Structure 1
Amino acid sequence: MAFIAKGSFTVEMKPQAEPGVIDGVSLGRMSLDKRFEGDLAGTGRGEMLTALTPVQGSAGYVAIERVSGTLHGKSGGFVFQHAGTMTRGAQQLSITVVPDSGTGELSTIAGSFKLQIVDGKHSYEFEYTL
C-alpha cells in the first residue's frame, strides 16, 4: 500500500570548493542542510555536484542525502538519490529512496519525492511504501 506525505522544507546550500570553469561550464560541489516539516519531520544532510552552463537556465546536478526523523509518526532514516537537469528553465527531476537504505521503523521504505518551489518556498509530496 502506498502512502503520501506532504509538507514543506527549508534548505541551506554551501559551496565546498571553488567551482572549476572550463569552456564556460562551471562544475561545483555543495553541502545540503535541510529541515523538513509536515508528515516528514526531521533533517536532511547531503552532498551535491553541479554543472552550470553558459546558457541561462541550463544545468545539471546529482546528490546523495541522508534523511533522519519521523514519517507519519514512524522514526528512522533513509537516503535520497537526486538527479536533475534544466534545459533553458524546463526542469526534469528524479528523487528516489536508495534501495535498502532505510533504518529503524523505516527499514523497508521505498519511494519517490517530488518538490515544488513557489515564491521561494519549498513544498514536497513524498509517495512511499513500507
Structure 2
Amino acid sequence: MRVSGKFTVQMQAQEASFEGSDGINVTRMSLDKTYKGELSAHSQGEMLSAVTTTTGSAGYVAIEQVTGSLSGQSGSFVLQHSGIMDQGDAQLTLTVVPDSGSGELKTLSGTMDIRIDSGEHHYDFDYELDVLP
C-alpha cells in the first residue's frame, strides 16, 4: 500500500548541542510533527545532526513515535531516520522499526520518503499491514 500527504514539523534545539574542535557542529533537536491525509497522526521525536565545514555535507539520525490512524487503522509506531548529504547530494531513509507497532498497527512495516516542495513538507509512505486474526 502507498499513501501520500503533507505534514508540518516544529524543531527545537536541545542542550546537548556542541561544536567540535574541527568545526563540525553537532546539534540535538526535538521534533513535533502533524501528519495529514491517509496518515492522520501526531509524532514526537529526537534528532541528532552533524554539519561539516564543507558546504552541503551533513548527516542526521532521528527516532520519532507516530500516534494516530493510517488508512482508518489506529495505533502507533516508530520511524527511524538516517540521512546523509554529500556536497548537496542527499540520501534519506525512514523505516518503521520492526515490532514497534501497537493497536491496529501492530503488524505495520514499511518505509517513508519525505520531500519539501515550495516550503511544504510531503510524505509518501509505502507500507504493509497484516490483518490480525
State the distance in 2 between where 1:56 and 1:31 align. 24
In structure 1, the partner of 2:37 is: 38
State the distance in 1 between where 2:16 and 2:63 align. 20
How far is the alpha carbon of 1:110 from its aligned partner?
Answer: 0.2
In structure 1, the partner of 2:27 is: 28
How far is the alpha carbon of 1:5 from its aligned partner?
Answer: 1.1
TM-score by length of 2: 0.94
Q: Residues 93-104 of structure 1: matches in 2 within 5 Å?
A: 93-104=92-103
Number of positions where the alignment pairs a residue of Structure 1 with one of Structure 2? 128
Aligned to 1:55, the other structure's residue is in SS state coil
Which consecutive residues of structure 2, in runs of 5 or more, have no partner in the other structure? none
Amino acid at match of 1:110: S
In structure 1, the partner of 2:112 is: 113
Amino acid at match of 1:32: L
Runs of 4+ displaced beyond 4 Å: none
1:45-89 CA distance string (max 9 Å, x none)? 000011011111110000010000000011001000000000111
Q: Percent identity?
A: 51
Which consecutive residues of structure 1, in runs of 5 or more, have no partner in the other structure? none
Q: CA RMSD in A?
A: 0.8
In structure 1, the partner of 2:55 is: 56
In structure 2, the partner of 1:14 is: 12
State the distance in 1 between where 2:80 and 2:97 align. 6
How far is the alpha carbon of 1:18 from its aligned partner?
Answer: 5.6
How far is the alpha carbon of 1:19 from its aligned partner?
Answer: 2.5
